[in-house]
Amino acid sequence: MDRIRIVGGHRLNGSISISGAKNAALPLMIASLLTPETVVLENTPRLSDVRLLMRILGNHGVDASIDGKRVGQTQETGETIRLSAANIVDTTAPYELVSRMRASFWVIAPLLARMGEARVSLPGGCAIGTRPVDLLIMALERLGATIDIDGGYAVARAKNGLRGGDIVFPKVTVGGTHTALMAAVMARGTTVIDNAAREPEVVDLADCLGKMGAKIEGAGTSRIVVEGVTSLGGARHAVLPDRIETGTYAMAAAMTGGDVTLLDTRADLLSAALDVLMRAGAEVTSTHNSIRIRRGDGPIAPVDVTTEPYPGFPTDLQAQFMALMTRARGVSHIRETIFENRFMHVQELARLGAHIRLDGDLAVVEGAPALKGAPVMATDLRASVSLVIAGLAAEGETTVHRVYHLDRGFEALEKKLARCGAEVERISGEG
């Protein structure tokens, strides 16, 4: 099993190209089930989750191909993938595939919309909480579907097709909003989605569906109105930049006292996180497609944050920000309101010398004068990269185990960091 070795103490200086967003690419790929025509997605990140989803879609009959190498492309440049669901041959998504990636449950919506039926395994729990699918099922039932739970599968039927309806989410849910959108675009009549997620990835899906012929208004607000159409066509769409990868490298630059320019990204996608970084002492400047993060020899200031749905501070940057706060001069408070059990990185940060006390959904972080390298274990995607950030600033050597978590969401992480002066390498095999 691969691991990453880091020798800390090096400032990050240089530039990093930001990949396409995994959290946008996955629903865009699933949306290809809605049409018999080809959907072409540019700037798709090279990630294990993308490869797995291609396999899952292939189980339904989707033909997937990746464009060959082009002039100027590197291992860090996004790929162009083509997805063609001309013939859906299987409306069952089996447990052995869905259990490996929760987002694959979303195939229930386009299968139901196009084929009138779907049988999708319930995904079960995960390391950062249960993240139940009850709100996704509720949204489909509001559009006329009947759904039974049988043998661990959600069996959905809409014999005469879906029909428009009013969906009111009791709490903001990105997965629920993705599901509702993909179901509503081919439902008869008008669908109104209230308390919809406002995340940029939801807007990206709506933009792509619009190119396919869907009629959607209000994406990016809490109220989305969809006028159903009878069929959708193909489209070409570029996946938006990954705001979580952007914020992660921004925090790494601030952690090491570096000067890093993040390319092919947009500051408007993560305003709350950049504001927090500036309050912590980093200098942030941006253009329309780049962000520069600088922090000199001054101290890192403690900042209190609470994770919130977009446009608030994202839960997917909580672990990375906690790593930064372990070196702040003072005490910071980090409250996690989105997922339970999302403090599993705390005990591993403590192995590096961090001083963190937990009280329910609140982490109290007392900045330490120094971190010291140690072997640590990744527990999930965001926790794993927080350990990398801490290792970059720790004295001596840090080894992060279970880095397969990283490969789910970060493309060529060690190469991007090494190019900016980090002493980091991937070690393959057991150890």
How far apart are the C-alpha atoms of 220 and 205, rounded to whole Å?
11
How far apart are the C-alpha atoms of 199 and 180, rounded to whole Å?
14
The whole-model pTM stands at 0.95
Ligand-binding annotation for 55, yes or no, is: no
CA–CA distances in Å: residue 20 to residues 77, 245, 393? 9, 9, 27
CA–CA distances in Å: residue 295 to residues 235, 300, 301, 421? 42, 9, 11, 15
Ligand-binding annotation for 382, yes or no, is: no
Question: Are 157 and 146 a contacting pair, CB within 8 Å?
Answer: yes
- Catalytic member of 7, 115, 122, 126: 126
State residue 71's pLDDT score: 67
Q: Which phi and psi (to 5°) does residue 348 adopt?
A: -75, -40
Ligand-binding annotation for 171, yes or no, is: no
The distance from CA 99 to its chain's CA centroid, rounded to whole angstroms, is 17
Instruction: Fill in the DSSP letter of residue 149.
Output: E
How far apart are the C-alpha atoms of 28 and 186, rounded to whole Å?
16
Tens of each residue's pLDDT in the chain, 431 residues: 889 999 999 999 999 999 999 999 999 999 999 999 999 999 999 999 999 999 999 999 999 999 987 766 666 668 999 999 999 999 999 999 998 888 999 999 999 999 999 999 998 644 434 457 899 999 999 999 999 999 999 999 999 999 999 999 999 999 999 999 999 999 999 999 999 999 999 999 999 999 999 999 999 999 999 999 999 999 999 999 999 999 999 999 999 999 999 999 999 999 999 999 999 999 999 999 999 999 988 999 999 999 999 999 999 999 999 999 999 999 999 999 998 777 989 999 999 999 999 999 999 999 999 999 999 998 887 789 999 999 999 999 999 998 888 888 899 999 999 999 999 999 987 65
State residue 128's pLDDT score: 35
How far apart are the C-alpha atoms of 307 and 318, rounded to whole Å?
7
Bridging pattern class, strands 259-263 and 223-227: unpaired
State residue 345's pLDDT score: 93
Ligand-binding annotation for 299, yes or no, is: no
In the three-class reduction of DSSP (H, G, I as helix; E, B as strand; rest coil), residue 43 is classed as strand
Q: What are the structural domains, with CATH classification, of the chain?
A: 3-18+241-427 (3.65.10.10), 22-238 (3.65.10.10)
How far apart are the C-alpha atoms of 409 and 23, rounded to whole Å?
9
CA–CA distances in Å: residue 424 to residues 10, 317, 345, 413? 10, 21, 20, 10
Q: How many other CB atoms sit within 10 Å of the CB of residue 89?
A: 9
How far apart are the C-alpha atoms of 161 and 362, rounded to whole Å?
46
The distance from CA 183 to its chain's CA centroid, rounded to whole angstroms, is 21
Ligand-binding annotation for 102, yes or no, is: yes
Q: How many other CB atoms sit within 10 Å of the CB of residue 424?
A: 23
CA–CA distances in Å: residue 406 to residues 199, 314, 400, 409? 22, 18, 10, 6
CB neighbour class for 173 (10 Å; exposed up to 12, middle 13-18, buried from 19): buried
What is the tens place of the pLDDT at every residue in 185-215?
A: 999 999 999 999 999 999 999 999 999 999 9
Locate 22 and state its tokens: 């995994």
Ligand-binding annotation for 134, yes or no, is: yes
How far apart are the C-alpha atoms of 20 and 189, rounded to whole Å?
34
Question: Are 278 and 249 a contacting pair, CB within 8 Å?
Answer: no
How far apart are the C-alpha atoms of 218 and 408, rounded to whole Å?
31
Q: Which phi and psi (to 5°) does residue 403 adopt?
A: -80, 0
Locate 348 and state its tokens: 């591993």
Instruction: Provide Rg for the chain, Cα atoms.
Output: 22
Q: Kindly state the helix (H) or strand (E) to which residue 190 belongs, with its residue range.
A: strand 190-194
State residue 382's pLDDT score: 78
State residue 126's pLDDT score: 43
Amino acid at 10: H
How far apart are the C-alpha atoms of 124 and 161, rounded to whole Å?
28
How far apart are the C-alpha atoms of 19 and 77, rounded to whole Å?
7
How far apart are the C-alpha atoms of 141 and 134, rounded to whole Å?
11
Q: How many other CB atoms sit within 10 Å of the CB of residue 23?
A: 23
Ligand-binding annotation for 239, yes or no, is: no
How far apart are the C-alpha atoms of 145 and 163, rounded to whole Å?
9
State residue 430's pLDDT score: 63
Bridge partners (DSSP) of residue 166 are: 192
Transcribe 70-124 into DSSP letters.
-TT--TTSPEEEEEE-SS----EE-HHHHTT-GGGGGGHHHHHHHHSEEEEE---
Ligand-binding annotation for 270, yes or no, is: no
How far apart are the C-alpha atoms of 279 and 106, rounded to whole Å?
38
State residue 408's pLDDT score: 87
| Residue 208 appears among annotated catalytic residues | no
